[in-house]
């Protein structure tokens, strides 16, 4: 990714910032995977809007597209935008799960075999468990 960012800064100037919902892929180097997909989520300020929700959904769709285009069979997502970017965690999780489910339904022949939602906080774990529990009912 550093090389890609360097190329973009060279092309567009040193103040280039990665656009929201436009993923990049880089080698994983010493991590136990082949690639890392990097995506910038929306910054919610001063309040959550439909544009933020649409951008977050696009983060997941575009990342899945990029991963699939590169032959990835598995992908793990963190809670995109829910930290300092201030996206409400419950709404973000609903968008994440709904978007991924829809993408998987629309791409039944993709190489994607598993999607992991990786959480840091117990509160996020509880949100995802509730979403999956409610989906089973």
Helical residues (DSSP H) of 34-106, grouped into ranges: 50-69, 89-106
Res 2 pLDDT > 60:
no
Task: Check pLDDT > 90 for residue 55.
Answer: yes
Residue 15 pLDDT grade (very low, low, confident, very high; cuts 50, 70, 90): confident
Residue 70 has pLDDT above 80, yes or no: yes
As its CATH architecture, domain 18-136 has 3-Layer(aba) Sandwich (3.40)
d(CA 13, CA 9): 5
> What average pLDDT score do residues 16-28 get?
90
- Which among 2, 46, 47 is positioned nearest to 27, based on CA atoms? 2
Kindly tell me if the per-residue pLDDT of 9 is higher than 80: no
Instruction: Examine the pLDDT at 77 and tell me if it is beyond 60.
Output: yes
77, 116 contact by CB (below 8 A): yes
Q: Is the pLDDT of residue 115 over 80?
A: yes
Q: What is the pLDDT of residue 124?
A: 98
Band of residue 135 on the pLDDT scale cut at 50, 70, 90: confident
The string of DSSP codes covering 104-118 is HHH-TTSS--EEEE-
Residues 6+ apart with CB under 8 A from 115: 64, 74, 75, 76, 77, 100, 104
Mean pLDDT in the chain?
Answer: 92
pTM over 0.75: yes
Please give the share of the chain, as a percent, with pLDDT higher than 90. Answer: 85
Pair 58, 76: CB distance under 8 Å: no
Mean pLDDT of 70-86: 97
Q: Where are the alpha helices (DSSP H) in 70-112?
A: 89-106
Question: If you average pLDDT over residues 90-115, what whole number do you get?
Answer: 97
């Amino acid at each position: 990714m550093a090389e890609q960012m360097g190329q973009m800064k060279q092309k567009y100037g040193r103040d280039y910032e990665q656009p929201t919902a436009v993923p990049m892929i880089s080698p994983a180097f010493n991590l136990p995977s082949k690639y890392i997909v990097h995506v910038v989520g929306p910054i919610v300020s001063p309040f959550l809007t439909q544009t933020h929700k649409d951008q977050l959904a696009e983060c997941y769709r575009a990342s899945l597209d990029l991963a699939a285009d590169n032959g990835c069979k598995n992908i793990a997502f963190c809670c995109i935008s829910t930290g300092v970017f201030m996206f409400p965690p419950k709404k973000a999780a609903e968008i994440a799960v709904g978007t991924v489910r829809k993408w998987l339904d629309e791409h039944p022949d993709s190489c994607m075999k598993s999607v992991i939602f990786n959480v840091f906080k117990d509160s996020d774990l509880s949100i995802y468990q509730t979403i999956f529990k409610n989906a089973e009912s």
